[in-house]
């Protein structure tokens, strides 16, 4: 393309040559991806498993750098391919509109000149002398020329010439020609700028700054390719329809979506888990690069969480633990992360655990909540090898500090859980759509405030898609009066509540108000709900410790012992669920481990062996083997 584009060059443009060039870049991208897989799976993993010592460590370091180099090549070459295909797509539209105008001119026997002007023959009748009006020529205007020359023009001049019926048609054609050329010129300028960004300096070292640049490159290509690709992503469709859409795409189309929109494809419920994992691993590097260039506590916290997840993805898998899949990742809101141990599409047993208050995408989540999913998968695989366990952070959970909870406890708590319930059900519908087993066994798990979110999801129309069992641990209530309200039958609702977990004995909101809604009710509720997750909660607890400890006795002696903050106590006989055995756990403060140590132990195979085993049995579809205890 030249600096000034002519209609002849646009007419003769072979945009298929751009597509051929795009195919070449796509081939390079695919080869880099294949090389990355070979380096990772056939070389790095084998070397790590078979060799030890300084030489092996040095070799592994070089292989890891090579892996990152190939990953960068895959990403950037994929972006070039899509940019060229997008350019061809948009130019083909401008060329089609030009050719339509030229065809109309030819059919009318008009002449299109080199400068884009259009000549037309004589026609019509002069109202003053009855003679035929002469022909003429007109130039295009992007907005058209609705008005003729000034009144008073001489007879037979431009004013009367415009009365020639051919003039208006010629003017319209000239306008269309000019608009098509200008459109193509704008497209060329825009894509030239985008392609200009997709280059690396000589002596490239793939480091954090490189990925920061790559994130900016991806954003630029997405902006240029929206008309070409993004408009067809079925964001407003059901998970089953999204799966059908993905299945209908050609291999080249899938590759382009993965290269340019890993953020969209990786977080789209209904897309197969292997595909989501591939997309999210690539998007993880772009997110790390993006956040490295930002200041602020939120960016730093999310960056730490992302790096921790990245390290776990790259680490050798723990013995007895299935492969790690990244099913969702993002920096919107408080952050998004969905991690599975085991492929949920291939496994007969699938569980999805929702964490509670104070959870966000940070290092504590990557350390604690991801470990709970890992422990659940490891435990379930002891009873059935075909098991996958997921931790789902697909919503913004309420946050500490406690004073923020106090201000809006009733509204904020319910709002976040209800919003999260919609997203959770979409995710679970996606799991149902992509699972390859004829009758998979699916378990929804909610811990702490996450049990309220799961409870709200279960009470929506149709319940939790695909769910056979529900597990509630450390629950302050679900908003339901009875286990029957959760859509799976009361015999399939399982509750774990440690005797020394004060979260499972919170007062109802009415009782909290009566006890003094400030410290004893709202503050203690907010504090103890989040204490099990770690982080800066200790300082909050110190401020309200007296209120918490003093309030526990009051909670236990309240008039309606079946009522908690969010409705009926799931561990109470009035709720009607099956209560499984858990360890009593350390007593708050008295045993020197803080305010709610028992609240954090339900999934831990060492600190609460009986609870972890019961959860694993339920997830593995062997709930008839669990150990139970009497409800409250």
Q: What mean pLDDT is predicted for residues 497-515?
A: 67
Q: Flag whether pLDDT at 531 surpasses 90.
A: no
Residue 121: burial class (beta carbons within 10 Å; 0-12, 13-18, 19+) = middle
Q: What percent of the chain has pLDDT over 70?
A: 83
Q: What percent of the chain has pLDDT over 90?
A: 52
Q: Residue 140's closest CA among 109, 89, 101, 106?
A: 101
How many CB atoms are located within 10 Å of the residue 356 CB?
27
Distances (CA, A) of 513 to 269, 507, 510, 555: 41, 9, 5, 12
Helices 15-37 and 251-260: crossing angle in degrees, nearest 10, is: 80
Inter-residue contact 105 to 112 (CB < 8 Å): yes
pLDDT tens readout for residues 378-429:
999 999 999 999 999 999 998 866 444 444 444 446 889 999 999 999 999 9
Q: What mean pLDDT is predicted for residues 367-386?
A: 97
Distances (CA, A) of 432 to 81, 148, 166, 328: 34, 65, 63, 16
Q: Flag whether pLDDT at 283 surpasses 60.
A: yes
Q: Residue 170's closest CA among 112, 125, 124?
A: 112
For strands 493-496 and 387-393, give the pairing.
Answer: unpaired
In this predicted structure, what is the pLDDT of residue 143? Answer: 60
In sequence order, the 6+-apart residues with CB closer than 8 A to the CB of 620 are 349, 380, 381, 382, 383, 384, 387
In this predicted structure, what is the pLDDT of residue 202? Answer: 67
pLDDT tens readout for residues 230-264:
889 999 999 999 999 999 999 989 988 998 889 99
In this predicted structure, what is the pLDDT of residue 588? Answer: 72
Distances (CA, A) of 534 to 295, 301, 314, 373, 601: 24, 14, 25, 17, 12
Helix (H, G, I), strand (E, B) or coil at 326: strand
- Look up residue 454 and give its two tokens: 């799961």
pLDDT tens readout for residues 291-322:
987 889 999 999 999 999 999 998 877 888 89
Give the predicted TM-score (pTM) of the model: 0.76
pLDDT tens readout for residues 22-50:
889 888 888 888 887 787 777 776 777 67
Rounded to whole angstroms, how far apart are CA atoms 455 and 294? 37
Inter-residue contact 376 to 349 (CB < 8 Å): no
Laid out side by side, the sheet with 118-120 consists of 111-112, 118-120, 136-138
Per DSSP, 586 falls in state: P
Average model confidence (pLDDT) across the chain: 83
Q: Flag whether pLDDT at 362 surpasses 50.
A: yes
Q: What mean pLDDT is predicted for residues 588-612?
A: 84
């Amino acid at each position: 393309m030249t600096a000034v584009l002519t209609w002849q060059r646009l007419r003769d443009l072979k945009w298929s040559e751009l597509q051929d060039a795009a195919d070449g870049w796509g081939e390079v991208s695919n080869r880099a991806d294949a090389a990355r897989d070979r380096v990772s799976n056939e070389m790095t993993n084998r070397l790590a498993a078979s060799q030890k010592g300084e030489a092996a460590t040095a070799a592994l370091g070089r292989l890891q750098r090579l892996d990152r180099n190939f990953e960068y090549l895959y990403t950037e070459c994929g972006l070039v391919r899509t940019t060229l295909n997008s350019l061809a797509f948009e130019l083909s539209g401008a060329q089609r509109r030009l050719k339509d105008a030229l065809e109309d001119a030819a059919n009318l026997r008009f002449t299109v000149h080199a400068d884009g002007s259009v000549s037309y023959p004589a026609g019509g009748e002069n109202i003053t002398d009855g003679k035929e009006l002469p022909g003429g020529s007109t130039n295009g205007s992007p907005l058209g020329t609705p008005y003729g020359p000034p009144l008073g023009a001489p007879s037979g001049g431009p004013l009367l010439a415009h009365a020639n019926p051919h003039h208006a048609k010629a003017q319209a054609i000239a306008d269309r020609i000019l608009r098509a050329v200008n459109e193509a010129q704008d497209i060329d300028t825009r894509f030239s700028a985008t392609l200009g960004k997709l280059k690396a300096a000589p002596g490239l070292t793939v480091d954090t700054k490189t990925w920061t640049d790559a994130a900016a490159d991806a954003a630029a290509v997405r902006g240029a390719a929206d008309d070409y690709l993004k408009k067809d992503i079925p964001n407003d469709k059901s998970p089953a329809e999204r799966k059908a859409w993905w299945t209908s795409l050609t291999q080249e189309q899938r590759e382009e979506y993965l290269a340019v929109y890993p953020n969209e494809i990786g977080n789209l419920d209904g897309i197969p888990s292997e595909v989501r994992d591939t997309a999210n691993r690539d998007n993880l590097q772009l997110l790390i690069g993006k956040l490295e260039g930002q200041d602020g506590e939120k960016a730093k916290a999310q960056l730490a969480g992302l790096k921790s997840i990245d390290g776990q993805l790259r680490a050798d898998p723990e013995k007895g633990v299935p492969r790690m899949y990244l099913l969702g990742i993002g920096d919107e809101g408080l952050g998004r992360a969905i991690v599975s141990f085991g492929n949920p599409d291939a496994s007969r047993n699938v569980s999805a655990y929702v964490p509670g208050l104070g959870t966000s995408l940070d290092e504590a989540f990557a350390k604690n909540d991801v470990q709970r999913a890992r422990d659940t998968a490891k435990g379930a695989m002891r009873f059935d090898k075909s098991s996958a366990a997921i931790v789902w952070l697909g919503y913004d959970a309420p946050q500490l500090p406690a004073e923020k909870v106090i201000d809006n406890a009733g509204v904020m708590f319910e709002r976040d859980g209800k919003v999260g319930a919609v997203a959770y059900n979409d995710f679970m519908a996606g799991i149902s759509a992509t699972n390859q087993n004829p009758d998979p066994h699916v378990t929804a798990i909610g811990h702490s405030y996450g049990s309220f979110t799961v409870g709200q999801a279960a009470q929506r129309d149709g319940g939790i898609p695909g769910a056979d069992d529900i597990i509630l641990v450390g629950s302050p209530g679900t908003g339901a009066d009875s286990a029957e309200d959760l859509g799976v039958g009361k015999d399939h609702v399982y509750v774990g509540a440690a005797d020394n977990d004060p979260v499972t004995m919170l007062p109802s909101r009415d009782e909290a108000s009566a006890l003094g809604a400030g410290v004893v009710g709202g503050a203690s509720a907010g504090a103890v709900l989040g204490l099990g997750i770690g982080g800066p909660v200790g300082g909050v607890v110190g401020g309200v410790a007296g209120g918490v400890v003093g309030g526990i006795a009051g909670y236990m002696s309240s008039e309606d012992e079946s009522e908690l903050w969010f409705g009926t106590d799931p561990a109470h006989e009035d709720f009607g669920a099956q209560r499984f055995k858990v360890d009593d756990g350390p007593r708050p403060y008295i045993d020197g481990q803080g305010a709610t140590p028992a609240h954090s132990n339900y999934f831990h195979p060492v600190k609460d062996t009986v609870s972890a085993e019961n959860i694993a049995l339920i997830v593995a579809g062997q709930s008839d083997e669990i150990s139970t205890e009497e409800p409250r």
